[in-house]
């Protein structure tokens, strides 16, 4: 199992701000637990990969994985591309604009704390694109923040407001936040033909972490625009 120290040492160069950001990210998010729901082999696409910390964790978790990270922020992608890991590569791209034609065929797609910055219609478009590119036995691992406990949800909203709107740590083209209740995520994924399991991962954390493990139950096609 990769440790925080091992993950940080994989980056040849980190500024103190980058190192602090990655360290905090590791400590406040259950990345190892999320990774445990990802298949051990095949192509794994990590959408909204940022600096590549979780993407690196996936690649180091199994040599049989070929992991591809995609993110809008070119500076973060540039840093991620310095990582020393053979079964890992990164692409700069706006996931809110991805269609099935833009995504590689995959055994799994992971999206971790990203979709709240993607408008609702684009969320659905992206998830349908993911579904269309998943293998018949593929899995979508979607990590989001739940709406309960309410105090954790409120703290998360406050933190994101600071990070996105004031400190601008996270790059986005969206005008606001686009959170969904847990039931809405379940309904949306099930409408696309997924069988969905939701697991609360907030114990021991002040964020309301929840992961949606969505497995293919049949052929799912990307909806075409009228």
CATH of the domain at 94: 3.40.50.150
Q: Give the pLDDT confidence of 5-28 residue by residue, as tens digits.
A: 999 999 999 999 999 999 999 999
Q: Which domain holds residue 97?
A: 4-216
Number of independent structural domains in the chain: 1
Q: What does each of the 226 residues of the chain score in pLDDT, given as a tens digit?
A: 899 999 999 999 999 999 999 999 999 999 999 999 999 999 999 999 999 999 999 999 999 999 999 999 999 999 999 998 999 999 999 998 988 889 999 999 999 999 999 999 999 999 999 999 999 999 999 999 999 999 999 999 998 888 776 666 666 666 689 999 999 999 999 999 999 999 999 999 999 999 999 998 754 444 444 4
Write the Ramachandran bin of 42: left for phi over 0, alpha for psi from -120 to 50, otherwise beta: left
In a domain, 226, yes or no: no
In a domain, 222, yes or no: no
In a domain, 41, yes or no: yes
Residue 56 neighbours by CB distance under 10 Å: 27
Q: Give the pLDDT confidence of 110-140 residue by residue, as tens digits.
A: 999 999 999 999 999 999 999 999 999 999 9
In a domain, 223, yes or no: no
By the 8 A CB rule, do 58 and 46 touch? yes
In a domain, 183, yes or no: yes
Beta strand spans in the chain (E): 42-47, 65-71, 88-92, 106-112, 134-145, 194-200, 209-216
In a domain, 187, yes or no: yes
The span from the CA of 41 to the CA of 166, in Å, is 40
In a domain, 225, yes or no: no
């Amino acid at each position: 199992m990769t440790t925080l120290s091992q993950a940080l040492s994989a980056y040849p160069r980190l500024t103190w701000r980058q190192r602090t950001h990655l360290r905090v990210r590791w400590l406040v998010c259950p990345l190892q637990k999320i990774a445990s729901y990802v298949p051990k082999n095949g192509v794994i696409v990590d959408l909204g990969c940022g600096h590549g910390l979780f993407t690196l964790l996936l690649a180091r978790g199994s040599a049989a994985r070929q992991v591809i990270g995609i993110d809008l922020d070119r500076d973060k992608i540039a840093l991620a591309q310095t990582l020393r890991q053979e079964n890992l590569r990164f692409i700069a791209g706006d996931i809110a604009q991805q269609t099935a034609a833009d995504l590689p065929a995959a055994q799994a797609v992971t999206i971790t704390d990203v979709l709240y910055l993607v408008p609702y219609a684009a969320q659905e478009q992206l998830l349908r694109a993911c579904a269309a590119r998943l293998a018949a036995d593929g899995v979508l691992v979607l990590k989001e923040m739940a709406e309960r406990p309410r105090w954790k949800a409120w703290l998360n909203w406050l933190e994101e407001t600071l990070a996105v709107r004031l400190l601008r740590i996270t790059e986005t083209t969206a005008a606001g936040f686009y959170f969904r209740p847990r039931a809405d995520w379940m309904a949306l994924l099930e409408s696309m033909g997924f069988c969905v399991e939701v697991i609360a991962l907030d114990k021991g954390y002040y964020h309301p972490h929840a992961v949606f493990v969505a497995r293919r139950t049949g052929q799912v096609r990307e909806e075409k625009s009228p």
